[in-house]
Amino acid sequence: MGYLGGFLVTLRQRGRKNRNTLEYAKDEGGKRDKPVRFHGRHVLNRYEDGMEKCIGCELCAGVCPAKCIYVRGADNSATAPVSPGERYGFVYEINYLRCIHCDLCVEACPTEAITESKLFEFSFTNRADAIYTKAELVVDDEGLPQRLPWEDWSDIEKVAGSASGWVRATAPGGDRDYVGRVGWSGELGFGVKDPELGQTAPAPAPAQGSGAAHGGGHGGHH
């Protein structure tokens, strides 16, 4: 039969309806739920008072294997600081034409400033749109990512308040003293992390005279 056999297979399928095929994003169930550790586009988080968590240390840019992150730090103003540290991220850009979503930047960040959402559907019409600026990456006043025109947030109800479950190696969730507590801060960040596997015990009461409870104030998670 040779190549004619291949045509016969094609002809047999014409007119047959494949019941297992759904029209993407329209039919019920067309979009599958994202896995817990799904890596999507990044967000830059803030504290409840509006201050940015990024301190301009540039560790994320230094560890990035794709060299897609560009950060330039600057000294905070004494009268109008942007972050609680001495420095802040004056320039922050991510080139999504190069990003491989390895999440090494998330692991390297000492302040939990950068995390990943579960959004992965982009539709760029020019290269400039693929380079996200700081204004596009910083979460809004509700702690949610900016919703840009070329992003598909049609399933926002599934991903809102749900960041990637990827946790950096130095997260407090790996410490036995934090059993039962979420591993990440939810302060104007995209989603609160659920306790890790096995972390179901109630949080211990703070010791007398130990100062503020865990999570209070800037840097309470580090």
Extents of the domains making up the chain: 42-169
Contacts of 160 (CB under 8 A, 6+ apart): 144
Pairwise CA distance, residues 82 & 60, whole Å: 19
Please report which confidence band the pLDDT of residue 216 belongs to, taking 50, 70 and 90 as the band edges: very low
Using the predicted structure, report yes or no on whether residue 33 has a pLDDT greater than 60: yes
At 213 the pLDDT is 40
Query: Residue 180: left if φ>0, alpha if ψ -120 to 50, beta else—which one?
Result: left
Other CB atoms within 10 Å distance of the CB of residue 82: 19
- Give the phi and the psi of residue 134 in degrees, each rounded to 5: -60, -40
Token pair of 167 as six digits: 């946790």
Token pair of 191 as six digits: 């989603």
Using the predicted structure, report yes or no on whether residue 208 has a pLDDT greater than 70: no
- Supply the Cα-derived Rg of the chain in whole angstroms: 22
CATH number of the domain located at residue range(s) 42-169 in this protein: 3.30.70.3270
User: Residue type for 51, please?
Assistant: M
Report the pLDDT averaged over residues 4-12: 77
pLDDT digits (tens, 9 = 90+) for 38-89: 788 898 988 878 889 999 999 999 999 999 999 999 999 988 899 888 899 9
At 212 the pLDDT is 40
Output the average pLDDT for the chain.
Answer: 74
At 96 the pLDDT is 94
